[in-house]
């Protein structure tokens, strides 16, 4: 009986040495004694197999991010916050990666977006001696990891371009340990470092540029807490083009004579689907059988998010945005009011949460939220925390989902949904739009002709005038903007430098 498919490959040796072979074990023991396997133990703790044939870049990156204990700040499945390939979508749609793979520059972009510090080097901008020094630096430390982009053909392996982390180095034999994330194909293996350099010093036919390597470490600050940009929705290209290219042209009009004109121009020209581009980060969990008690970690995290929200609402810009959005005759009012009530937001996110738990990457189109209920709990420091509970159904039954909602510290109203006078303050349109305006690149406003108005709007959106917590949030969003612009302009391959956060 014929059997379809392939079960592993025979590792060509030489040039590679199987990690589990007698020689491979000896190299490992000698490298440990020499102190050049320090990064190995954290990497091997999170070693994973790429879930798609073209996901080697995503698997390598998620493995390294987890080894560095970088908190993604959002849920993966169930109660767990964890980097997974499916979450690395801010620089390239996953379907495109699945079909064609991902370039070196966009893996660098993804690492930046995920909140890591990245130093990237193409082989034509580096040397084998520099590479060897960087390998030594990362393998003698457990807080730095190196991902290599190379061509398999130089190792007599099948396939072409590939990504994998470097797990160790043998000084005497000048050999590097590749922790191949295509574990269904080849096991981890040692290769001569000069040959690895030769494999990196090749041209990626998709971009016409050299391959290379990147060093990834942990930033001292956390990534965004409450807001994030996303290119998961296919419209992100047109939205980012509008915000970064078209908007400055609109603001150059002679009719822009005051702050109200500036903000009205921005808000009235927003694409209808801009809500897919910037979102507040909801925390979703399955309802627990023993009740809805919040853990100390959840309470603390909500308290920080609530502080970020309060700081947004305390900005002078927020007051201007709110005034324009909800003015009686505002043409922006319908956009702002659409789906922004707590009940609508809660029902939508409960359905998205159910989609996540079902493995549909946040899809909500097959779920219906029958009911929602709002409850308040005491959080850190005596502040309140809002939990919206929903019962979500689809063709396979129903499940309970909780959404942990940050609420305004100044205007929290704790009461069940539907009770008269109950108006919980959550990140709604005016909050999200204020964050969006603060995060727009400074050049957005540069073409305003009235110098007095220009100075006034620059003061309103200046990150320097923000409290430290909100400043970090906004600078992170601004950095995401710049990364997305690089992607949109196809310049992410040419400029590997980190954005100026």
pLDDT digits (tens, 9 = 90+) for 359-417: 444 444 455 555 555 565 555 555 556 677 766 666 556 667 677 777 654 443 333 33
Q: Residue 276: exposed, middle, or buried by beta-carbon count in 10 A (0-12, 13-18, 19+)?
A: middle
Q: Residue 433: exposed, middle, or buried by beta-carbon count in 10 A (0-12, 13-18, 19+)?
A: buried
Contact 106, 90 (CB under 8 A): no
**CA 483 to CA 478: how far, in whole Å?**
9
The confidence score (pLDDT) of residue 422 equals 37
Q: How does DSSP classify residue 256?
A: -
Distance of CA 242 to the CA centre of its chain: 22
- Residue among 314, 319, 309 nearest 473 (CA): 309
Contact 158, 224 (CB under 8 A): no
Contact 329, 260 (CB under 8 A): no
Contact 96, 173 (CB under 8 A): no
pLDDT digits (tens, 9 = 90+) for 429-445: 788 889 889 988 888 89
Q: Residue 431: exposed, middle, or buried by beta-carbon count in 10 A (0-12, 13-18, 19+)?
A: buried
Contact 401, 392 (CB under 8 A): yes
Q: If phi over 0 gives left and psi between -120 and 50 gives alpha, with beta otherwise, what is residue 71?
A: beta
Rg (CA), the chain: 25
Contact 50, 58 (CB under 8 A): yes
User: In the CATH hierarchy, which fold is given to the domain comprising 17-218?
Assistant: Cathepsin B; Chain A (3.90.70)
Distance of CA 375 to the CA centre of its chain: 30
Q: What is the pLDDT along the chain (501 residues), one digit of tens a residue?
A: 566 788 889 999 899 999 999 999 999 999 999 999 999 999 999 999 999 999 999 999 999 999 999 888 777 887 788 999 988 887 778 888 999 999 999 899 889 878 788 999 999 999 999 999 999 999 999 899 999 999 999 999 999 999 999 999 999 999 999 999 999 999 999 999 999 999 999 999 998 999 999 999 997 665 567 877 766 555 667 787 788 888 999 999 888 899 999 999 988 888 777 766 777 776 666 666 445 577 777 777 778 888 888 899 999 999 999 888 877 455 444 444 444 455 565 566 556 555 545 544 444 445 555 555 556 555 555 555 667 776 666 655 666 767 777 765 444 333 333 333 333 445 567 888 898 899 888 888 999 999 999 999 999 999 998 998 899 888 888 877 777 777 666 676 666 665 554
The confidence score (pLDDT) of residue 416 equals 35
The confidence score (pLDDT) of residue 337 equals 44
- Say whether 180 is catalytic: yes
- Say whether 162 is catalytic: yes
Q: Which of 56, 91, 138, 351 is catalytic?
A: 56
Taking the model in full, what pTM does it have?
0.66
- Say whether 450 is catalytic: no
The confidence score (pLDDT) of residue 397 equals 60
Contact 74, 283 (CB under 8 A): yes
**CA 100 to CA 94: how far, in whole Å?**
10
Domain boundaries, the chain: 17-218, 229-408+425-435
Q: Which of 180, 204, 402, 431 is catalytic?
A: 180
Q: Which of 151, 162, 170, 210 is catalytic?
A: 162
Q: Within 13 Å of residue 281, how many CA atoms lie on the same side as its CB?
A: 22
Q: How does DSSP classify residue 48?
A: -
């Amino acid at each position: 009986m014929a059997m379809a498919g392939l079960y592993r490959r025979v590792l060509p040796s030489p040039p590679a040495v199987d990690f589990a072979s007698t020689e491979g074990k000896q190299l490992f023991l000698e490298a440990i004694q020499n102190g050049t396997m320090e990064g190995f133990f954290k990497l091997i703790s999170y070693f994973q197999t790429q879930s798609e044939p073209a996901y080697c870049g995503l698997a390598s990156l998620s493995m390294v991010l987890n080894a560095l204990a970088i908190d993604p700040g959002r849920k993966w499945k169930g109660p767990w916050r964890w980097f997974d390939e499916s979450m690395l979508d801010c620089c390239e749609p996953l379907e495109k990666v699945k079909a064609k793979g991902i370039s070196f520059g966009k893996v660098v972009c993804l690492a930046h977006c995920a909140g890591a510090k990245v130093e990237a080097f193409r082989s034509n901008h580096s040397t084998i001696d520099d590479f060897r020094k960087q390998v030594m630096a990362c393998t003698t430390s457990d807080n730095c990891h190196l991902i290599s982009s190379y061509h398999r053909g130089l190792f007599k392996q099948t396939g072409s371009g590939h990504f994998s982390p470097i797990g160790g180095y043998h000084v005497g034999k000048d050999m590097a340990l590749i922790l191949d994330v295509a574990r269904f194909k080849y096991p981890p293996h040692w290769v001569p470092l000069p040959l690895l350099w030769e494999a990196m010093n090749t041209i990626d036919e998709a971009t016409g540029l050299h391959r290379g390597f990147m060093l990834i470490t942990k930033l001292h600050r956390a990534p965004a807490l409450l807001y994030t940009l996303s290119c998961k929705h296919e419209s992100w290209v047109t939205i980012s083009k509008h915000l970064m290219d078209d908007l400055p042209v609109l603001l150059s009009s002679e009719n822009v004579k005051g702050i109200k004109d500036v903000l009205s121009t921005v808000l009235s020209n927003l694409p209808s689907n801009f809500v897919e581009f910037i979102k507040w980060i909801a925390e979703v969990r399955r309802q627990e059988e023993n009740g809805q008690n919040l853990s100390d970690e959840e309470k603390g995290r909500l308290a920080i998010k609530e502080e970020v929200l309060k700081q947004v609402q305390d900005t002078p810009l927020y007051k201007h945005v709110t005034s324009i959005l909800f003015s009686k005759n505002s043409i922006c009012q319908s956009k702002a009011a659409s789906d922004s009530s707590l009940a609508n937001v809660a029902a939508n996110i409960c359905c998205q949460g159910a989609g996540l738990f079902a493995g549909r990457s946040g899809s909500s189109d097959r779920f219906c939220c029958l009911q929602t209920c709002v409850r308040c709990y005491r959080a850190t420091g005596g502040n309140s925390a809002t939990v919206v509970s929903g019962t979500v159904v689809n063709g396979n039954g129903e499940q309970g989902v909780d959404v942990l909602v940050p609420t305004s510290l100044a205007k929290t109203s704790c009461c069940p949904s539907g009770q008269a006078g109950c108006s919980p303050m959550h990140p709604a349109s005016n909050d999200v739009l204020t964050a969006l305006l603060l995060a727009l690149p400074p050049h957005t406003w540069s073409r305003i002709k009235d110098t007095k108005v220009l100075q006034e709007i620059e003061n309103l959106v200046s990150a320097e005038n923000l409290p430290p917590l909100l400043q970090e949030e906004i600078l992170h969003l601004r950095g995401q903007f710049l990364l997305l612009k690089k992607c949109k302009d196809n310049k992410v391959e040419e400029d590997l430098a980190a954005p100026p956060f």
